[in-house]
Structure 1
Amino acid sequence: MAAVEPLRMPPLSDGGDEVLTWLKRMRDEQPLWADERGVQHVFRYDDVQAVMSDPARFSSNIGRVMPGFDPEQVSANLASQDPPEHRLLRQLVSQAFTPRTVTGLRPRIAEITRELLDAAPEGEFDFVEHVAHPLPVTVIAELLGVSPGDRAFFRSCADALLGTRAEAVSAAEHAKALAEANKELQEYLSAEARRRRADGSGGLIGALTAAELDGRRLTDLQVATFSGLLLTAGHITITLLLGSTLLALRDNPEAEARLRKDRSAVPAAFEESLRLRPPFHRVVRVSTQDVEVAGGVIPAHRLVMASTLSANRDDRQFPDPDRFDVDRRPNRHLGFGHGIHFCLGGPLARVETEIALNLLFDEFTELEVTGEPAFHDSEFYGPKQLTVSARR
């Protein structure tokens, strides 16, 4: 008797066509699935939202079941913390990274975007390379207060952490380069935290070192870890969302025509793009006890993968879920997470994308995606190369 091929999630390298079909099948037929490694996967909107909303039963600290994680690093990472420590860390970070901080960046974000658009080649160019990738790296570097002389190093770390690599580089070589980039970035940011704590210099790193609540302050490692998280998560989110939004407009030219005429609809277009193509297509939790989900039971102490990409396409929550609809109301997507770990950088992503899209429409009378985009294949959902033809 022939062996049965194990059920596997398809790769994302085709832009998601195959995986979206697979996710619909899983939502309808197998909403709770254990893969060959014993990892538990959930796919329906209500179940994904429940996993993200219940830190008592679904911990963010994956170090519980993953050997090799440095406990000190885990304890310094806001994204890996559960209550009550998470609440304190988030309150301290929020003292420095405020809505006013993001609003104050608007003129500089517009200036950086204009500079990138002015420098883009005439005719065809890679939109990711020339606009979507450098924009968030530059903004976050300036927000943190990274000195101009260090920005080439900062960007090289961002390149590695985004996961881009030449075809000739093996997965093992890339993993080694990724670990080294993360180590170098952590060392750099920790040194910056120590320096600014000593001399009182500014930028977000300086503000983080000065934040205080009930006599408690962030450690240098916590400042460095949050700064690195802002770089990686913020950079990836904005880079991929800008490219994904252009793809959505390619497939829906009537939506682009409307946005060019009615710029008030640009924020709604961003939310719809985030729903359809969330850059982080799943979140990882650890079950702390046996939990009933989707008609089955997730055993205690298992990794749980909650698919935000699947949840955002669930017709139980979203009518006509595969349609790009700038008039979708309400749009309770999970692209920025849910619950206590709702993305702190969401307001910055919204501001950057809104400014960038408006300036693209101002600068180019025509902006057409040409050729076949290249996509990330596993960790992130979105284009890593996107050739466009532009007419100023």
Structure 2
Amino acid sequence: MGVGRTERLLSNFLADLAELRKRGDVHFDEKSQAWHVFGYHDTQEVQNAPAIFSSDVAALRPRQQDFELSNKGNFVRADDPLHRRLRGTVGKAFTAKMIADLEPRIAEMTTQLLDAADAGGDRWDFVEQLAYPLPFLVIAEMLGLSDADRAVFRRLSDTFVELQNYDPQQPRDEQSRKAVNNVAPVLRELNRYLLEFLRARRENPTDDLAGRLMVVEVDGVRLDEEEVLGFLNLLIAGHHTTTSALGNTVLALEENPHLWDELRQDSTLIPGAIEESVRFRPPFPRSARQTTQDTEIGGQKIPAGALVLVWLTTANRDPRVFADPDRFDIHRSPNPHLSFGRGIHFCLGASLARLEAKIVIRLMAQRYREIRVRDDAPVDLRNPWTMIGVNKLPIEVRGN
């Protein structure tokens, strides 16, 4: 397979982080030119202090106009008051009610994808036939993308994500330069496409998310096209994150088949299984901040202007907070993992990701008594230093 290989790779990644942590829960690393933060409480402190630990890290990489354009409306990489204005305006269009109202349609899409997968037999690839297309189709339908637009959007967004790569053995300056050189041409094309799409929405308003984003106002002020562009780029990252979360959940349940039986018998356990999945394998292994002033964390003095990397992977496995942290436990309560962030930067799309995962697991539990990762086909794993997830996950299912 399969799962054993997956676990070895995850174990290797965790072992590498454990080696780094031996230098201290908070320490400076010369190669990455960054301060690493590993513990739960220190990570939470960083997340809850945006005035000191800024999310705007653009100054730490080479300036490049395509990245600057893409980030103009990216409130994940903004601080208050800009963050408050951007997120507050977007939030008036991307509402909790809008997401909750999607449940019947997401269930319908999931059923259609499962029917199509089952029509080909009891062996199919979970990512290719369900975990990837579902989040993509949900976003595409929310935005009102035509079939032609979907093809372009999918090609560009996939290429953009595939080009993201983190190598802990490379110096930070070299990684930044390579990232800009590799990604900028695709980002330029993606920006150009999205801006044309949004300008068409402004000229001919539509009652979809893209149309609403172009007209929504707070205190009489609308988002401009480039600010909406930044949010759409967040959605691109969001649907790939959900794909990873779905794949990671199936991996964890296959590794613990008795838990699959529990979920089949009691669907109220599904939300807990999803929370445990994003704790156990957070799709984004770390997040970056830049200090705005001299500060101290974990007993270490950090100067202003420093890059700080908080490792969600290790924070979520801190034994001071999580009992038996390396065990996948769908009954874990409370489960205060940090995968969706804390404070003002709590993930705006968390409710949509949770809803999609809940529906997928519920419908699969109703349909299959067993899901097995095949041992005769390789699992294609992502680089866990960049994103924890799978690109291919061949499974065999047995119906109820």
CA distance in 1, matches of 2:218, 2:102: 26
Relative to structure 1, is the Cα distance of residues 15 and 382 closer, same or farther in structure 2, using a 3 angstrom cutoff?
Answer: farther
Q: Within 5 A, what are the aligned runs for 1:144-293?
A: 144-163=143-162, 178-232=183-237, 234-293=238-297
What is the aligned counterpart of 2:61 among 60, 66, 83? 66
Q: Within 5 A, what are the aligned runs for 1:291-370?
A: 291-370=295-374
Calculate the aligned-residue CA RMSD, in Å: 2.2
CA distance in 2, matches of 1:62, 1:132: 31
Relative to structure 1, is the Cα distance of residues 61 and 267 closer, same or farther in structure 2, using a 3 angstrom cutoff?
Answer: same
What is the aligned counterpart of 1:33 among 2, 27, 33? 27
CA distance in 2, matches of 1:176, 1:27: 31
The corresponding residue for 1:93 is: 90
Instruction: Give the drift of 1:153.
Output: 1.4
Q: Over residues 79-119 of structure 1, what are the superposed CA-to-partner deviations in whole Å (9 max), with x where a residue is unaligned?
A: 11101110111110000000111112111111111121112
Instruction: Give the drift of 1:224.
Output: 1.4
Residue type of the partner of 2:42? D
Q: Select between 207-216 and 176-185 the one with higher mean Cα deviation.
A: 176-185
Q: Over residues 140-187 of structure 1, what are the superposed CA-to-partner deviations in whole Å (9 max), with x where a residue is unaligned?
A: 00011111232111221232133179xxxxx99998664333322222
The corresponding residue for 1:132 is: 131
Relative to structure 1, is the Cα distance of residues 313 and 139 closer, same or farther in structure 2, using a 3 angstrom cutoff?
Answer: same
Residue type of the partner of 1:160? T
CA distance in 1, matches of 2:224, 2:47: 27
Asked if the contact 2:70/2:233 (under 8 Å) is kept, the reply is no
CA distance in 1, matches of 2:289, 2:281: 21
Residue type of the partner of 2:142? L
CA distance in 2, matches of 1:132, 1:178: 25
Relative to structure 1, is the Cα distance of residues 152 and 176 closer, same or farther in structure 2, using a 3 angstrom cutoff?
Answer: farther
Instruction: Give the drift of 1:26.
Output: 4.6
- Whether 1:15 aligns to 2:9 is yes
CA distance in 2, matches of 1:110, 1:240: 19
Normalising to structure 2: TM-score of the pair?
A: 0.88
Asked if the contact 1:15/1:383 (under 8 Å) is kept, the reply is no
Q: Over residues 50-91 of structure 1, what are the superposed CA-to-partner deviations in whole Å (9 max), with x where a residue is unaligned?
A: 111111111111112222144454332211110111011111
What is the aligned counterpart of 2:50 among 55, 67, 81? 55
CA distance in 1, matches of 2:98, 2:147: 20
- Whether 1:107 aligns to 2:104 is yes
Relative to structure 1, is the Cα distance of residues 45 and 128 closer, same or farther in structure 2, using a 3 angstrom cutoff?
Answer: same
Q: What residue ranges of structure 1 are gaps of 5+ in the alignment?
A: 1-11, 166-170
SS of structure 1 residue aligned to 2:138:
helix
**How many residues of Structure 1 are paired with residues of Structure 2 in the alignment?**
375
Relative to structure 1, is the Cα distance of residues 384 and 363 closer, same or farther in structure 2, using a 3 angstrom cutoff?
Answer: same
Instruction: Give the drift of 1:220.
Output: 0.3
CA distance in 1, matches of 2:62, 2:159: 24
Instruction: Give the drift of 1:374.
Output: 2.4
Q: Over residues 273-295 of structure 1, what are the superposed CA-to-partner deviations in whole Å (9 max), with x where a residue is unaligned?
A: 01011101111111112221112
The corresponding residue for 2:380 is: 374
SS of structure 1 residue aligned to 2:12:
helix
CA distance in 1, matches of 2:182, 2:51: 35
Q: Select between 17-26 and 336-345 the one with higher mean Cα deviation.
A: 17-26
Q: Over residues 12-52 of structure 1, what are the superposed CA-to-partner deviations in whole Å (9 max), with x where a residue is unaligned?
A: 99531112133345556511122223211100001111111
Relative to structure 1, is the Cα distance of residues 164 and 355 closer, same or farther in structure 2, using a 3 angstrom cutoff?
Answer: farther
Normalising to structure 1: TM-score of the pair?
A: 0.90
CA distance in 1, matches of 2:391, 2:342: 26
CA distance in 2, matches of 1:356, 1:62: 35
CA distance in 1, matches of 2:204, 2:381: 44
Q: What residue ranges of structure 2 are gaps of 5+ in the alignment?
A: 1-5, 165-174
The corresponding residue for 2:171 is: none
Residue type of the partner of 2:24? Q
Relative to structure 1, is the Cα distance of residues 174 and 391 closer, same or farther in structure 2, using a 3 angstrom cutoff?
Answer: farther
The corresponding residue for 2:3 is: none
